[in-house]
Structure 1
Amino acid sequence: MENNNENTNDIKVNTYGNEPNNNVPKMDQEKVEPEKQTIGQVKNNVDPTAKPPLDPTARRKAIKKVLLVLGIVGAVIVAASLFVVSQVDIDGNNVIAQTLGLNSLAFTNIISTIVHIIFMLFSLVMVVFILRSFMAVNRVPKEDPIGRKAALKPLIIRGVILFLLMVVWVAAFVFVEMNRSLVTKYLQNPIVTLPAQTLNLTAPVEVKFDASHAPVDRAIFQVISYDWDFGDGKTGTSQVVTHKYERKGRFDVVLAITKRNKTTSEESKDTYAITVVIDKQALSAVVKADKESGAVPLEVSFDGSDSVNPDGTISKYEWDFNGDGKIDATGETAKHTFEKAGRYKVSLKITSATGDTAVGEKEIMAGESDVTAAISILNEPTEFLKDNSYIFKGDKSASKNSTIEKYEWDFGDGTKPDTGKTISHTFKKEGTFEILLTVTDKNGSEGEVKKIINIGTPKGNPKAIIITDPVMKEGDLAISGKLPFTVIFDGGSSADSDQNIVDYKWDFNNDGKYEGFGKNISHIFTEEGTYTVTLEVEDADSNISKATAAVKVLAQGIQASLKADKVEGTAPLIVSFDSSGSTYKNGKITSYKWEFGDNTAPKLSTASITHKYSAVGTYSAKVTIIGADNSSDMAELTITVRETPLTACFTTNFKEGQAPLDVIFDPACSTGTAANYYWDFGDSASSTDVKPTHSFTKEGTYKVELQITDVDNTVSSFDTEIKVLQKQ
C-alpha cells in the first residue's frame, strides 16, 4: 500500500486517463478553490483548468482527409496536363499552345515538368509514410506476433501504393515523350533528303529531296508552287523530287515555296537551302549515241568520251554491240551497223590504269524497214523553254505494207503517255528529256523513234538567294545570336539566266524600306526580337526577285571573357588566367568553373587563377561562368607548351692549375632532356659519364667539349679551355 501511495503522489494523471502528465503547468492558471474541486481531482492532484489533449484518432482522420483532397486535386491536374499535351495536330503543333500564343515545344516542356513534380511529391509523401510504418513495425516486440502482423499491414499497403504510383509515373512519362516527339519531329530541316547525309557523297548519285515538312500553316496559306534549284544548273518543281548528280563538287540546293494567304490573297515566298557535297567520283562509263532507233540497216556512232576516271586517265575502252559478251570494237568512239531488227543492249567497258573497271549501257532499237516512225516539231525553235507549249507531229511516219493507225507519245517528263498524230505538250520543269514515239500500222507492226531535247528556263528571271554568316544551324528556322548581334549577309549567289543583275537592296526589319545596298553587307541588330530580312534583286530588264531570312536576336545574357598572361612557352609553364572581364548585365555571376585541358580535375574558383602545365602539348583552357539563375557561358583559350630546348653547358672546379690537374666537369647548367653525354677532353681521352672527373698530367691548353643528345637525336655542344701549367 505504501508503494501505491508513493506512485500516486509522484505521477499526476490527467482527467482523461490517457497517459501520465508530469508537466502540468502550475503558473498563470486560475486556481480552483479546494471546495470546488471533485473528490477525484483532489485525490489525484489534477488541475481542473488544464485543456484536454487532441484525440490522436481524430488527428489521423483529419490528415487522411487532407491527403485525399490533395491526391484528387493532383490526379485532376495530371489528367488535365496529359490531355493538354496530347492535343497535337498533323503539323506537329500543340493546338492549345497555339491558342495561347505559345511555342508548342516550350509549352509541352512546361506541362511535362508539372506532371513530374506532382508525381515526385506524391512519391515523397508515400516514402515518408512507409518509413513511419517501418519504424512502427520495429517498435513492436518480437514476442508479440499479433502486434507485428497488425503493424506490417499498413507497411505492405503503402508499399503497393508506391509501386503503383511509380508504374503510373512511368506510363505518364512515356505518354508525354511520345507527344513531345510529335512536336519535335517537325522542327527538323524543312528539306528532308534521302540519303539523309548529303555530305561526302560519291558521284554519280541520286538524291531525293522532300519538302513536305516545310513549316507552312495550311490553315492560313495555300501552296502555289515549289521551285527547286539543284545548284548544277538543273531545276525541279514538285514537292518531292529526285535529282541525279553526275560530277563531284559543292551544290547549294535552294527551295523557294510560293504561298498565298487564303484570307488576303497576298502571295509570299519562303526560301530554304541545303548543301550537297560530292567529294568522290566513281569510275563511270557513259555511252552516247547519235541515234537510238531507226530502220535497219541502222548505222549508229557511239561516243564514250564523257566517261570519268577521277584518279587519272582511262586506259581501255571495249565495246559490245550485241550483248554476247565479246569485244566488237575498242577506242573512245566506235561505229556499228545493225543489220537485223530488234532491241540491242550496247555496253561499254572502261578500264583504269590501276585495273579498275566500270560498264555503261545504251539500248538501241533497230526496227523493221516497213514501219518507220518520225518526229517533227512545228516551228521547231533553237532553244526549248519550260512552260512553253510545243506541237509535236508524227505525220511523217510511214508503213510500206499498210497505213499507220496508232500514235503513242511518251515525253519522258513524268506525264502520262498521250495518243494522236499531232500532240501539243508543255514541259513544266527543266532538264533533258527523251521523247519516244511508237507507231502501229493496221497489220500490228510497230516502229519507234526517239528524240532528245533540252528544256531550259526562260531568260530574264533573276532568283534572289541569301547566304548568312553565321549560318543557320540544322533544324533551326532562324539565325540566332545575342545582343549586339552582327550578321553578314551575302546575296552574291543570286542567279539570273542573263547574268545581268544590277541592283541588290536589303530590308532588315521588314518595314518595306531598304536600309542597305550591295551584294555583301553587314548589319548589327541592337534590339531583342525576331526580324525578317528581305533581299530584293533586280536585273537590267527590271525583273525583280525577293528572298527572305529570319534572324532571332536574344538578350545579351551572361558573357564569358578569358585572358591569360601567356599562351605559349616551355615546360613547365605557369599561366595566370583572368576572367574578371566577364559580364552579366541583368544578373550576378556567382562562380567560375575552370578546366585546364591537361586531365586535372575541374575547379570552382574566383575570376583569376594560376595553373602550371608540366607536360609538353597543346591544351584548351576553359572557364564557365555561372550566374545566380544558373545561366552560364563559356570562353576558352589555346595554351601551347613546348619542350625545353636542348642546350649543352658545364662548369668546372678548375680552369687552370699545375699538372697533374684533376678537374670535375658538371653539366647541371644544361637544359632539356639529355639521353647521352659524350666528353672530349682534348688529350685523346673521352668519357660518356654524366659528371666525369679527368686528370690532366701534361702541361698544355686543352679544349674540352661536351656533346649531349636527346632521344630524338637532337644534338647540342659546348666547350671550354683548361690550362695546365708545368709542375713547379
Structure 2
Amino acid sequence: MTEQQRPVDGITAGGTTASQAPVPSQQGESLDQDPGAVPTELRNRMKFVLAAVLLPPYLAFIGWAIFLLSVLPDPQGTYEYLIPFGRLTGFVGALLIVVCVLVVGLRVLSKTEDVPRFTMIMAFVRIGAFALPGIAIGIIMPFLIAAEPRMWIAVTEPVDIDNLIAPVAVTYSMEDAVKILERRGVRPISFAWDFDGDGTVNQETVLPVATAFYQRLGVYNVGVKIKANDGRDRVIVRRISVQREVFAITPPRPIVDEPLHFSLAHLVDDEEEIAEVQWDFDSDGIIDEVTMGPTAVRIFSRTGATLVSATVIYSNSAQQKHEREIMIYAPDPLPFPITMHSQPEMLVSPAPFQTIFWVETEEPLQEVQWDVGKGIELKGERVGHTFETRGEFVVTVVARSREGDVARLTKFVRIVDLLKIPDLTFDGTPAVDMAKQQITGEVPLTLTLTPRSNLPLLEYHWEAPEATTVGSTVTTLEAIYRRPGTYTVTLLAQDPAGNAMRMPFRVEVKPPSSHIVIQMDPEGGVAPLDVVFDASETRIPDEDITGFEWQFGDIEKERPRTGGAVMHYTYTEPGTYTVTLTARTTSGKELTEHRTIVVRAPLLDACFTASRTRGVAPLGVQFDMACTAGNPVSVHWDFGDNTETDEPSPIHVFDDPGTYTVTLTVRDSSGVSSKKTLTITAE
C-alpha cells in the first residue's frame, strides 16, 4: 500500500474503509503485508525462549530470598554467616531485574507506532506485576536479614514459671541477649530492671542477671533497658503471672544448714488475730512447731524439695492452711576457700545485740566489704556491729582476692522481743549460781546442764565456743573444760511467738586438786580381754610426776609394773579384778587410785558340721567342730554306735546300715558344758 493508499480516519483513498481493505492470507504472504514485521509464530517462540531463560533465575532468586527471610535474623547465630552473601545477592538481583525491565520496556516503547495504546499499557502492567515483587524483595530483604534479632528476657529460676506462687523469687537473665549483641560487635554496659512495670528502675546491674521478689499474686510487666557501647538503648519486655500466694521465706534461695525464716505477716491484716500457727516442715502430718505469731525459723539438713504447710488458727477459731514446696539448695561454689564467722554463732537476740563478724581464708585479699543491713556498710576482714532495732537483717560480705575473684557470703540476724523466764532453773552438774550467773569447778570441768521452766514450748540452745570438747548444745549442754581460766557460756531460749532470751554465764575453771584418773578401754568384756589403761588425765598441782606403778589384780601374775601413763594388759581368765595405780612425784609423794574391771567368761556353744549325713554303708564321715564358740578345754564325741573319741575333728566309719545320733560335748575351764547332736543315716 502506497502513502496515498494509507487509511485516513479509517477511509482509504479509493473510498473504502479500513475494514474493507484486503485481508492477508493466513500464511502472511499478502502483497500488502509489511515486509519488516516478525511473523507471529516466530514472535511466540521468542517469547517462550525469553521466559525459559529469565524465569528460572527469577524464581530461584525469589526462593533464596524467602529462605533467608525465614532463617534470619537468627537469635542463635547459626545462619548469620549468610548475611553478607544474602545482602549482596539481594541488591544485585534487584539491579538485574531493573535492567531487564528497562530493556523490555524500551523494546515495548519502540513499537508504539505499531501497537495499540491499550495493548502497550497491559504489557507494562504485566511486566510490572512480574518484576516488582522481585525488585521489592531484593531491596527490602538485605535490610531485614541484617536487622538485630529479637531478644527476650529468660527466667532461669524457678523452672516452672507457669505455676508461680507468691512470695517467690524470680531470677531473670539476659545472657542470650548479650551473646546476640556480642556477635554483632556490641558490648552491653549496664542493665536497668523494672520488675513490676511501673516505669521505675528497681535494680541496675552490670551482669545480665537479676532477681525479683514478688510478695503478692498478680500480673507483672517486667522490662529491662540495655545500655550498650554503641550509644543505643534497647528495651525488652515480658509478662510474668503469679497465680497464688502463701507464706514468705527468707532468704529466697534456701541453703542447706542455714536458717530459713518463714513469715505469714503479709497475708494477715492484724497479727493479733492469730491464736497460733502450726508448722509442718516435712509433710509427714506431724506438727513440728507451733508459734503464737506469723513467723518461724527452720534449718534444713538435706538438699532437695520439701513440702511445708502452715495452718493458721485465728482467735475466732477460723482456720486457714497454706502449703508451699520449697527447694533446698547446696551452697554455690566459692571461687576460693573462705569462711564467714560470727560471735555469737546463733544470731538471734533481743536488742541491743552486739556481734562480731570476720572471714578466714588463706587467699590474699584485696578488699573486704560488709553490708549489715539498712544501708550500713563496713570494711575490713573483722568488723563489729550492734543491732538496736527489731527486725531481720541480712549480713553480706563481699571479699575480693588479689587475683580479682569475688566471693560472696551471707548470714542472717534476727532481732526479736525480750523473753522473760522468771522461774528458770537448771538440772545437772555442777551447780549454777543464778544470782551471780556463774559456774565454778576444777579442771577437768564437765558441764551437763538442762534448763527447766514452767513456761510451755520453750526451745533452748547453748553456745560454748571456748570449751575444749562440746557434745550437745540443744536443750542440754555437754561440754568439758581442760584448762584453767575464765570462760563464758550462753543460753539462748525462744518461745513459739519468736521472742528470745540470751543469758550469759561466767565459767570459772580452777586448777585441779590432786587426783588420780584411771581410764579403761574397754571397761569390761569377755576373756581373753585386751585392755588399754590410761592415766594421762592425772593431775598433781605444783608437782612433776616421775612415773606410774600399775597392778592389774591378776593374782597369778601379780607383779607391779612401772611405766608411763598408758599401759596394755590382757586378762586371760574371767573374774573381777582390782586395778591399782600409784603415781610418784619428784618430791617423793605417792598417790594411789583403784578401779575395778569385770572380765566375763566366754559363752560356750557346741557346734559341728559333717561332710555328709546320708550314704551307703560302710559310710565314712568327717566331723569338724570349728564353729564351736567359747574356749572348750575338753571335747567328747559319741557316734551312737558304741564308739567314742576326744579328737577335735575326727573321721568315723559307720559299718552297718542304720540311723545314728552323733553327740558332741564340750566343757570349759569353769565346768560349763554344751552339747550338739546330728543324725547320720547309713543305708
TM-score with structure 2 setting the length: 0.29
Larger Rg: 2
